[in-house]
Structure 1
């Protein structure tokens, strides 16, 4: 898996926990301007990485405009026992300071309060 993909995956996993704690209303992706086909590519990519042994599993939650459009668990909680990964799986997340700081900085860029050209 590419390093950038790992960071995005980590952020998606980190964001999945709040989504599970306080359920958002669901919507079809097209209702909020997203593509079902493109979202399904996430699942295809994860399943391929799981099959290749790059990771045991992942939970992904994607919301837009306050509506949950993609919420899936891929892989195994215990592969040897054949136990699938549940959507409410708990993950140990370490060293997330840099990715979270990067996301916060990019949010400021989107708001026009920070520019990538700033020193």
Structure 2
């Protein structure tokens, strides 16, 4: 096969894969982890950039609103929304998505896991 044919086949495979929606990892965190994650998100100031459900203030508008985050298949439009990737993203987004506007946020591993659990528990009403 010529190099051009290989490249065309590879691009075709990628395009066909894009036709299938990404699967959302099942949410299986407990209520305590979800509550800790909500509290950690408030404590760490996520509301400065994101509108957060059940939070009257602040209502950040720099990043996307977090309502319904658990229904989203992708993180930042680029990564599958699963608990491990989401925890890594909330802690150090630029390491996973270079050029993102979201900064690295100093936090404990437990906070990152709990925030990911909380975010994945948020579903459209």
Query: What is the TM-score of this pair, normalised by structure 1?
Result: 0.25
Considering fraction of residues, name the structure with more strand.
1
Considering fraction of residues, name the structure with more helix.
2
- Structure with the greater relative contact order (CA < 8 A, sep ≥ 6): 1 or 2? 2
Rg (Cα) greater in structure: 2
